[in-house]
Chain A
Amino acid sequence: MNPKELIARRVARELKDGDVVNLGIGLPTMVSNFLPDDVDITFQSENGMLNLGPAPLEGEEDWDLTNAGGKPVTMGLGGVCFDSATSFGIIRGGHVDATVLGSLQVDEEGNIANWIIPGKMVPGMGGAMDLLVGAKKVIVAMTHTSAGRAKILKKCSLPFTAVKEVNMIVTEMGVMHITDNGIELIELAPGVTVEEIQAVTEPTLIISENLKTMEV
């Protein structure tokens, strides 16, 4: 299984029946492909819609019905559209149970940096700052390293997107919780050892007493 699919499959298991969930663009969007049949999730899209469905079949695109990346989507029965102020009222107001975002860096305090590389790349924060602050649970879904360099750090070196908002990190190597004492490793991907994941993680991981193998 490729690393991104592994991550998406594991995040999908984290979502609970009845949750309202916002998925970021890219890898997080893949999560919706791997939900168990008995788990009903209401996907929120920050451009102003509830009950976001899968991508339409080729030739059936409706360019008035799109996701936050501007790509055509479908809408589940009972879905609704609304303006951007309502959309972010839903997000900041605590009505989104979980958000899944990619990231450039995350640190052991739960700080996250994913909107700017000063002097190099300035995409902007879009809705990420609001989602991080507003969603009840923040799950970071990302590859463990970038070009061999650690992305899970003692302290983010890039400007923060939000302070102490990350709850969980899922990578192709393992699953980690952010705790008051640091980052706790709770699951290891099949075939990965504690030594291997620690070697590419800057802070010292707290190893859970119930450390398990990641199920996907």
Chain B
Amino acid sequence: MKNKVISKTDFVAKIHNGASIMIGGFMNIGTPEGIIDAMLKTDVKDLTIICNDAGLPGVGVGKLIDAGKVKKLIASHIGLNPTAGEKMTNGEMEVELIPQGTLAERIRSGGAGLGGFLTPTGLGTLVQEGKQVINIDGRDYLLEKPLKADFAFLLGHVVDKKGNVVYNKTTRNFNPLMATACETVVVEARTLVEVGALDPDHVITQHIFVDYIVEGDKL
């Protein structure tokens, strides 16, 4: 069995300037803070970050934004992070806003081998601009394309050494979707257990999606 467990420092050394990274979490709940802290110690910059929201200043994805490492943010909401708003307004950071359900499904499509999907969300709004409208059985839909990235950063509650992941409560959110849609996937494990310790029926992210495991702080 391949050893997937590495140090945070060794993992973040793999990340290059200009990388695209999906980061799990919803208002920082389910965000792997340890990996983000390790990123702050590197010189990596010009990142494209894909996550639900901009979090808060000084927390989660907000730390990468504060540090000026984010060139482009793709998210559904940035309203609770004034720093993100300022950087967008003064042109330091590009922001692409996507309806939350569309963001989730675009990531799911990216990981599921789909060419996109049709959704009624955003019809007749600014979200429709530049997109194909397709009528199915009398109803209009927008064609939304799949979304992929170079890296995914996940937060796992209990992870086995093979990379099977169990999440805790609402920390799950985007994590299992992002696990499927990225070239290289790392999970920060709050608790790391031996292979065989998890009930196969309880595993949410299957080990084949996970490339690296770093040990995080216990809850």
- Chain A-chain B contacts (Cβ-Cβ < 8 Å), number: 145
**Do A88 and B100 touch across chains, with their CB atoms under 8 A apart?**
yes
Which of the 9-residue segments B2-10, B13-21, B118-126 touches chain A?
Answer: B118-126
Task: Assess whether B187 is interfacial by the CB under 8 Å rule.
Answer: no
**Do A64 and B97 touch across chains, with their CB atoms under 8 A apart?**
no
Chain B residues with CB under 8 A of A163? 123-125
**Do B175 and A70 touch across chains, with their CB atoms under 8 A apart?**
no
Chain A residues with CB under 8 A of B34? none
Chain A nearest CB, measured from B181 CB (Å)? 11
Which of the 9-residue segments A119-127, A136-144, A194-202 touches chain B?
Answer: A119-127
Task: Assess whether A84 is interfacial by the CB under 8 Å rule.
Answer: yes
Task: Assess whether B164 is interfacial by the CB under 8 Å rule.
Answer: no
Q: Roughly how many angstroms separate A4 CA and B154 CA in the complex, as a whole number?
A: 39
**Do A133 and B121 touch across chains, with their CB atoms under 8 A apart?**
yes
With A122-B95, A129-B99, A130-B101 as contacts: A84 and B174 at CB distance below 8 Å: yes
Chain B nearest CB, measured from A8 CB (Å)? 22
For the complex, would chain B's binding face be called helix, strand, loop or mixed by DSSP majority? mixed
Q: Roughly how many angstroms separate A87 CA and B177 CA in the complex, as a whole number?
A: 12
Contact with A along B146-184 (1 / 0, CB 8 A): 000000000001000000000111111111110000000
Among B97, B122, B171, B173, residue most surrounded by chain A Cβ atoms (within 10 Å): B173
Which of the 9-residue segments B35-43, B71-79, B208-216 touches chain A?
Answer: B71-79
**Do A127 and B169 touch across chains, with their CB atoms under 8 A apart?**
no
Chain B residues with CB under 8 A of A62? 169
Task: Assess whether A66 is interfacial by the CB under 8 Å rule.
Answer: yes
Residues on B facing A (Cβ under 8 Å): 26-29, 52-53, 56, 75-80, 85, 88, 95, 97, 99-105, 107-108, 119-127, 157, 167-177, 204, 219
